[in-house]
Amino acid sequence: MDGLASFDPLLDKLPKGVISKGDTVRFKIKVDLKCTPNEAYLMIKSDDDTDYKYILMDRKEDVCEAEFTFLSSGHYFYNFKLNYNDFCVYLSKSYDSYCVVLNSKGDDFFQLVTKEQYDCTDSLQGGLIYQILVDRFCRDGKVFSRQPLILRDDWGGKIKKNSFDPLVINREVFGGNFKGVTKKLKFLAELGVTTIYFNPISLANSHHKYDTADYMTLDDMYGSEADFVALISKAKSFGIKVIIDGVYNHTGSDSIYFNKYGRFNTIGAYNSKDSKYAEWYRFINYPEVYESWWGIDTLPSIKRDSESFHNFIAGENGVIEKFMKLGVFGVRLDVVDEISDEFTKMISDKVHSFDKNAVVMGEVWEDASTKISYSQRRKYFSNNELNSVMNYPIRESILEYIKSKEPYTLNFTLRMLVNGYPKVVLDNLMNFLGTHDTPRIFSELKGIAGGNEALAKCYYKIAMCILFTVPGVPSIFYGDEYAMENNDGSSRGCFDWENYNNDIFNWTKNLATIRKHKVFAHGDINVLFHSNGKFVFERFDTNEHIVVCTNLRPSPLKVCLKGKYVSFFTGSEVSDFSLNENSYDILIEIKE
């Protein structure tokens, strides 16, 4: 039955991928000439519809075609029904987003329609992101502590040296600061970095700063506002942009807004029901019991519909405006699925009022194109709210490939991204293997390798080859470039400035030069082979063609090339060759 008909949304739908309101799409299914259907229908409905629209398809020899004009933005779902003399079948979506022929309707294919075309083609595309937790990156000059923070004098010391209590651990700081980052900008530029993504930098009484105490004030342990502006200015001279973390779902309980411990000279929501901030929070039993993020009482949640908070963040003279005027290029929205679409759009509009190419990145751990939270389909892309997201699916897929030695999930993820993410967003994604919320990637790979460090290095190189060449922008969590490992189980150790210059660092620094090829900014991708531990794909545009090959199985990968290619790693011209187990290569076509 599978041979009766076929459909591939990446090949048989024009235009492929995401479209904008008002666009017309042509759908084409291929049918068996020996058993052609009497009728074929495109079945399509929006997310809000209960019933499908049935559109009779035109039959032309071995294909059936239909057009549909999408008059509204949103999420659409479609299937195909084929009627034969005495039976009917459906062309539905398979697990890996190809098609399967069924006797009854299966999973729908997905079509995303944006409110308008994205106008953001010169944002992060083609570059390299570097994520910095300021306290742990570099310390320069004198740093003075303040209560309740505890300044340690053993840079790089064990995270749990003094306590196993997470609250105490969160208050211990090592003194990394803005001047330290500024001092290392040349190092970052030589690594190929084009964007720095900072974890939160506003005043907060923890090392991580996700418990904001004052949005409008930079943390004084990091330095002054002048220090930060100087950092941004010097970064620009190196061609490096700066984006910051926006934590707008919750504040700290130890803040000027809540003031649970009376540390601030304000009337916080905890201190009085008449506080001007009281409306931001939801109390269950005032003042001790209140809604908080994941039940953590140091992080009281902001009401999703708090208009005064929304205006404070994204309104006139608000937080977003302040930091954009300081020179930042955009904002990463922490736990964006916890804040409303309306608020997200308000933030986005404010950011883009400064620069249409500025980045508004969402922290989304799943497929952001079909994400549902609070029982609502999110409009991140259909409403043009986000022009980038953290690409957790690619991280998980690369790790799954390393663990299982099979690339099926990786192939599925790439197909999902190409089909469901607007092209501009796809090219602007933050692709990573590690962040402050995950274990150190080399520690994970070492675990997969059973402690074999040499094998872990092979895995690292294969994973990084994929990360640096798939659509989106590779991101390095500070220290991962030299295979930094977990410290007492924490990914948030200090950068080792005495011992970073190792073989992995030099290999990663060399790999980063691949990003100079313009094909990685806006080029297309096509998976050529994904089976038996072998994964091969091409990146191409009108000017360049690059082939990426990896193999995790004992049987060799035999590569047959049409044209002339050079290996990125050896610089040697490559003809037909075999790629052995735990090996990789990136092949660049030589244009005549």
The whole-number average pLDDT for the span 178-187 is 98
Q: How far apart are CA 175 and CA 153, in angstroms?
A: 8
* Domain edge (last residue) among 67, 88, 114: 114
Q: Is the pLDDT of residue 293 over 90?
A: yes
- Does the residue 198 lie in any domain? no
- Does the residue 442 lie in any domain? no
Q: How far is CA 147 from the centre of its chain?
A: 35
**Confidence label for 592 from pLDDT (cuts 50, 70 and 90):** confident
Q: Is the pLDDT of residue 575 over 90?
A: no
CATH number at residue 579: 2.60.40.1180
- Does the residue 201 lie in any domain? no
The whole-number average pLDDT for the span 141-166 is 96
The whole-number average pLDDT for the span 205-214 is 98
**Domain, as residue range, for 547:** 520-589
The whole-number average pLDDT for the span 311-339 is 98
- Give residues with Cβ within 8 angstroms of 463, minimum separation 6: 398, 399, 402, 433, 441, 445
CATH number at residue 6: 2.60.40.10
- Does the residue 52 lie in any domain? yes
Q: How far apart are CA 320 and CA 332, in angstroms?
A: 11
Phi/psi-derived region of residue 433, left when phi > 0, alpha when psi is between -120 and 50, beta in every other case: alpha
| pLDDT tens digit sequence for 464-489 | 999 999 999 999 999 999 999 999 99
Count structural domains, the chain: 3
Q: How far apart are CA 482 and CA 201, in angstroms?
A: 25
| pLDDT tens digit sequence for 246-259 | 999 999 999 999 99
Q: How far apart are CA 463 and CA 470, in angstroms?
A: 11
What pLDDT, on a 0 to 100 scale, did the predictor assign at position 3? 76
- Does the residue 15 lie in any domain? yes
The whole-number average pLDDT for the span 19-30 is 98
Q: What are phi and psi for residue 336, nearest 5 degrees?
A: -60, -25
Q: Are 44 and 74 in contact (CB under 8 A)?
A: no
* Residue 333: other Cβ atoms inside 10 A: 28
Q: Is the pLDDT of residue 437 over 80?
A: yes
What pLDDT, on a 0 to 100 scale, did the predictor assign at position 35? 86
Q: How far apart are CA 309 and CA 323, in angstroms?
A: 17
What pLDDT, on a 0 to 100 scale, did the predictor assign at position 1? 58
The whole-number average pLDDT for the span 141-152 is 95
Q: Is the pLDDT of residue 21 over 80?
A: yes
SS3 439: coil
The whole-number average pLDDT for the span 74-86 is 96
Please provide the distance, in angstroms rounded to a whole number, between the alpha carbons at the two ends of the chain: 46
Least confident of 343-347, 402-406, 510-514, 588-592: 588-592
Q: Is the pLDDT of residue 97 over 90?
A: no
- Does the residue 136 lie in any domain? no
Task: Report the b/e string of 523-552 with b at 16+ CB within 10 A.
Answer: bebebeebeebbbbbbbeeeeebbbbbbbb
- Does the residue 27 lie in any domain? yes
The whole-number average pLDDT for the span 114-142 is 97
* Domain edge (last residue) among 114, 134, 151: 114
The chain-wide mean pLDDT, for the chain, equals 97
What pLDDT, on a 0 to 100 scale, did the predictor assign at position 95? 82
Q: Is the pLDDT of residue 2 over 70?
A: no
What pLDDT, on a 0 to 100 scale, did the predictor assign at position 244? 98
Tokens of 189: 């530029």
HSE-up (13 A, CA, CB side) for residue 333: 30
- Does the residue 24 lie in any domain? yes
